[in-house]
Amino acid sequence: MQFFRSLHNIQPYAQGCVLTIGNFDGVHLGHQQVLNKLKKAADSLGLPAVVMIFEPQPKEWFDATSAPARLSTLAEKIQLLKEQGIEALACMAFNQRLRGLSAEAFVQQVLVGGLNVKALIVGDDFRFGCDRSGDFAYLKLSGEKLGFSVEDTRTVEQAGERVSSTLVRQALEQADLDLASSLLGREYSISGRVAHGQKLARTFGVPTANVLLKRNHTPLVGVFAVEVLTLSGKFNGVANIGMRPTVGGSTPILEPHLFGFAGDLYGQRIQVTFKHKIRDEQRFNGLDELKAAILNDIQLAKAYFNEQ
């Protein structure tokens, strides 16, 4: 997959391209339908299929503290889009300059001058440009003048509700992992690099991997039975994701303990798939209570996996 980090790095496609624009947070079934339409249009025109996203996501740029929890980091999003067969990803830096572009300037500088778009596929509720002044109707008129077509996408519904990143977040907040999986088309997972941490659980005889989340908020919180993919293979385990209130944690962290694993994971990127919620995260009265809870969590997770 080609990856463009900003407009400065984009060389306009001489023959043009087919483009879709959005956050694609989670790359759920609704996103996947858009991507399928994008690829079909690109194939029929013999042009590259390109996805445009923004980093940070616009709501994070305006107010990171109140922005919704991310379903996928940029690295996760790149991997998910690769798996969907996307040829190129244009990752635009969302900043004051981009935010200040008028709808007309966005079309002229980004779509036409930046990418040489020949076909654009977006939702009919798509808004863009300074103060969200541009809409689907404006794009249609612009395309007629500047030589690109504009198509909308059909909403994907499940049980009468529109499949959306918001709906996936709500399912995860309620620990409804089955619903989240049905909306995503796969089990929900988080991947990240293992870094050195406090190593507190190691003193209990329960070493954990300290996974960097790179999120302001986590989409789910608590203790879960998990499956962990490492370079050495897959392992069942138990993981806490949250703020670690007993030890005064200040940032969200994911800490899986892998059953039957012996080795060093530092620096390795691992994937943690959430299988079953065991309990909410809670504050304990001291390390002895915390240790007892962790050992109990391990037994409950092993029972879920039918392990001894």
What is 168-201 written as a DSSP string? HHHHHHTT-HHHHHHHHTS--EEEEEEE----TG
Residues 144 and 203 in one domain: no
For residue 270, with 0-12 CB atoms within 10 Å meaning exposed, 13-18 middle and 19 or more buried, which class applies? buried
At residue 188, what is the residue type?
Y
Tell me the C-alpha to C-alpha distance, in Å, between residue 274 and each of 220, 225, 242, 254: 10, 6, 14, 11
User: Does 32 reside within a domain?
Assistant: yes
In a domain, 166, yes or no: no
pLDDT for position 173: 95
Does residue 99 sit in the same domain as residue 198? no
- Domain check: are 124 and 13 in the same one? yes
The CATH number that applies at residue 105 is 3.40.50.620
Confidence of residue 64 (pLDDT cuts 50, 70, 90): confident
* Predicted confidence band of residue 246 (pLDDT cuts 50, 70, 90): low
In the structure, what pLDDT confidence band is assigned to residue 83 with cuts at 50, 70 and 90? very high
Q: What is the pLDDT of residue 28?
A: 96
| The dihedral sign for the CA sequence 283, 288, 293, 295 | positive
Q: In terms of domains, do 122 and 6 share one?
A: yes
Return the pLDDT at 129: 83
Last residue of a domain, one of 136, 158, 180: 158
If asked whether residues 36 and 113 sit together in one domain, one would say: yes
Closest CA to 23 of 169, 141, 137, 146: 169
Q: How many CA atoms lie within 13 A of 105 on its CB side?
A: 10
pTM for the model stands at 0.91
Please tell me what DSSP assigns to residue 65.
T
Domain of residue 10: give its range.
Answer: 2-158
pLDDT digits (tens, 9 = 90+) for 278-294: 999 988 888 888 889 99
Q: Within a domain: residue 7? A: yes
Mean pLDDT for 145-167 is 91
Structure tokens at 197: 């941490």
Final residue before a domain boundary, out of 138, 158, 178: 158
Where residue 248 falls among pLDDT bands split at 50, 70, 90? low
- The verdict on residue 178 lying in a domain is no
In a domain, 202, yes or no: yes
- Comparing 18-27, 40-49, 107-116, 246-255, the range with the smallest average pLDDT is 246-255
* Residue 177 domain flag: no
3-state SS, residue 113: coil
- If asked whether residues 119 and 263 sit together in one domain, one would say no
Mark whether 77 and 195 lie in a shared domain.
Answer: no
102/219 same-domain check: no
Domain ends where: 140, 158, 176? Answer: 158
pLDDT per position as a tens digit, 202-234? 677 788 999 988 888 899 999 999 999 999 999
CB 45 within 8 A of CB 119: yes
Same domain for 140 and 201, yes or no, is no
Higher pLDDT, 58 or 275: 275
User: If pLDDT is split at 50, 70 and 90, which confidence band does 257 have?
Assistant: very high
pLDDT over threshold 90, residue 198: no
Q: Give yes or no: residues 152 and 202 share one domain.
A: no
Same-domain check for residues 232 and 285:
yes
**Number of domains within the chain:** 2
Q: What residue has token string 């959005």?
A: 22
Instruction: Determine, yes or no, domain membership for 169.
Output: no
Per-residue confidence (pLDDT) for residue 111, from 0 to 100: 93
| Packing angle of the helix pair 165-173, 177-184 (nearest 10 deg) | 160
pLDDT of residue 308 exceeding 60: yes
Give the highest mean pLDDT range of 9-23, 199-213, 292-306: 292-306
Q: Characterize 150-179 residue by residue with b for buried, 16 or more Cβ atoms within 10 angstroms of its Cβ, and e for exposed.
A: bbbbeebeeeeeebbbebbbbbbeebebeb
The CATH number linked to 202 is 2.40.30.30
Burial of residue 6 (CB within 10 Å: 0-12, 13-18, 19+) is: middle
Residues 143 and 202 in one domain: no
Q: Is residue 143 part of a domain?
A: yes
DSSP element (H, E) containing 50: strand 49-55
